Amino acid sequence: MSAPTAREDNPTADVVQAATTADVARDGAATIPDAAPAHALEAARAAGISAAAERQHHRTGRWIQHWDPEDPTFWNDGGRRIARRNLLISIFAEFLGFCVWAVWSIVVPQLPAAGFALTTDQMFWLIGLPALVGATMRIPYTLAVPVFGGRNWTIVSAALLLIPCTGLAVVVQNPDVSFGVLLAVAALAGFGGGNFASSMANISFFYPEREKGAALGWNAAGGNVGTAAVQFVVPLVIVTSAGVALQNAAYVFIPFVLLAVFLAWRFMDNLSTAKADPRQFAIATRSKHTWLISFIYIGTFGSFIGFAGAFPTLMNSQFPEVSLSMAFMGALVGSVARPLGGILADRLGGVSITLVSFAAMAAGTLGAIWSLGTHNFPVFFGSFMFLFIFTGVGNGSVYRMIPAVFRVAGGTAKMAAGCIGIAGAAGAFGGFLIPRGFAVSTTATGSLVPAFWLFIAMYVLMAATCWIVYGRGEMRAAKV
């Protein structure tokens, strides 16, 4: 067998070639990855790079020093391939993060069969708390990417998923464990929720503006589908000849988590151009657009993760005669629809697609209200599928708005990346608020309907905010 070429042996050789041919004259220095073969170093020297410049740009670890995706030559000469490789591994790691984050959504309805005695309020706490912790984790996870590097943090964040998996496997085997212990272990699943923010922030640095919507949409959808996957897989693996084995809900994911750690270590890259700039991140937190977009995103992503978490329990409580095997469909259609939202937003503008999404979500919620009054499961299920589709479309369109809004407002790519993390955290709080809304509504009135009406009112308010701020003036002219 012939020896591998330089590009096969070292994936960052693409960047060496691009830098040494396109940027030496401009910058006087190029990236010299520490793993670069000898002939690449010689080529760099031949291009006029001094030994001092080589030492200055030499870094330990898998770092890419030069990254300019907006340059068509750079992008076509290896940049696209490197970005795609990082995107695919990021999707896999984020997928597992969502699986771990959402595992309690499908475990909780099964707990009574395993001997656990829980109230409705306690069940919704176990569903909602991972979302609350995950939302809080997203802010430090976003900061971790520019501080430690996207590759390095993907390794760490994937490895951390082993903790909630192990905890779940232990506690579900003891029905006598206290509710406080169950709640603490459920909170550990929030580690999986943090992965989304760091993954999205990292990928936003790899892609040019013209492809950000699609790239972020695929990255998010690949992660979001983890919610559907865990709700589909867990009912299959927990059934044994001896009864319900809920610990299998954790065991099934551990080998894949270890694989994600290896893939990130072996094939992903850090970008030095994405290094931390606390001042710019602080500016992003002070920008009104960061918080307005975060508010809007609670309506789309918050609805997706909140309804996805609550849907199995809602089905089980309102239609106990129906098998939970269909519960995964909501998260699945919402995840698949997310890239569509990004693609449509790239073509038609994020504001237009977001407004349509809120209108459709309100209509789906109205259908769910009607179905509860008539105990009509086909209408209930169909209304939720319609609702889930447009939570996904709205997720993609809002994320497409972020870089466009900051571009029109005179912001920077790092400010937009900071907003992505903050908005992701804010949106994830919806995963806590929606289950708690159902719990409070049921406790106070004995019905889910008041909670649904509150959600409709919020969709109207969020749509109005989106149109007033981003649907007029220069934002409209720029098709944000």
SS3 label, residue 141: helix
Structure tokens at 164: 């909630």
Same domain assignment for residues 54 and 82: no
The DSSP call for residue 36 is: -
Distance CA 480, CA 463 (A): 15
- The domain boundary, picked from 41, 64, 87, lies at 64
Binned at pLDDT 50, 70 and 90, residue 243 comes out as confident
For position 478, what pLDDT does the model report? Answer: 82
Mean pLDDT in residue range 86-99:
96
Q: How confident is the model over 314-327, as pLDDT tens digits? A: 999 999 999 888 99
For position 4, what pLDDT does the model report? Answer: 42
Q: How confident is the model over 158-199, as pLDDT tens digits? A: 999 999 999 999 999 999 999 999 999 999 999 999 898 889
For position 399, what pLDDT does the model report? Answer: 85
Q: How confident is the model over 206-242, as pLDDT tens digits? A: 999 888 878 877 887 788 789 999 999 999 999 876 7
Domain of residue 339 covers 72-477
- The domain boundary, picked from 40, 64, 88, lies at 64
The length of the chain in residues reads 480
Same domain assignment for residues 256 and 141: yes
User: Taking 80 as the threshold, does the pLDDT of residue 347 lie above it?
Assistant: yes
Identify whether 1 is part of a domain.
Answer: no
Identify whether 358 is part of a domain.
Answer: yes
CA atoms within 13 A on the CB side of 343: 8
Q: How confident is the model over 390-414, as pLDDT tens digits? A: 999 999 899 889 988 988 888 777 7
Binned at pLDDT 50, 70 and 90, residue 61 comes out as low
Same domain assignment for residues 99 and 17: no
Three-point CA angle 314, 371, 381, nearest 5°: 55
Identify whether 206 is part of a domain.
Answer: yes
For position 278, what pLDDT does the model report? Answer: 61
Q: How many domains does the chain have?
A: 2
CATH of the domain at 340: 1.20.1250.20
Same domain assignment for residues 59 and 154: no
Count helices and strands in the chain by DSSP H and E runs: 24, 4
Same domain assignment for residues 111 and 146: yes
Same domain assignment for residues 19 and 111: no
Structure tokens at 149: 């590097």
Cα 186 to Cα 56, 137, 234, distances in angstroms: 46, 14, 16
Binned at pLDDT 50, 70 and 90, residue 21 comes out as very low
> In this structure, are residues 137 and 192 in contact, taking their beta carbons and an 8 Å threshold?
no
Same domain assignment for residues 84 and 142: yes
Identify whether 282 is part of a domain.
Answer: yes
Same domain assignment for residues 158 and 42: no
| Helices within 60-176 (DSSP H only) | 72-74, 80-107, 120-148, 150-159, 162-171
What pTM was estimated for this model as a whole? 0.80
> In this structure, are residues 224 and 334 in contact, taking their beta carbons and an 8 Å threshold?
yes
Helix then strand then coil, in percent of the chain rounded to 5, is 80, 0, 20
Same domain assignment for residues 271 and 383: yes
Same domain assignment for residues 58 and 118: no
For position 6, what pLDDT does the model report? Answer: 38
Same domain assignment for residues 336 and 213: yes
Same domain assignment for residues 352 and 319: yes
Percentage of the chain lying above the pLDDT 70 cut: 85
Contacts of 318 (CB under 8 A, 6+ apart): 372, 375, 380, 448
Distance CA 115, CA 394 (A): 40
- The CA radius of gyration of the chain, in Å to the nearest whole number, is 23
For position 275, what pLDDT does the model report? Answer: 65
User: DSSP states of 445-480 as a string?
Assistant: HS-SHHHHHHHHHHHHHHHHHHHHHHSSHHHHHTT-
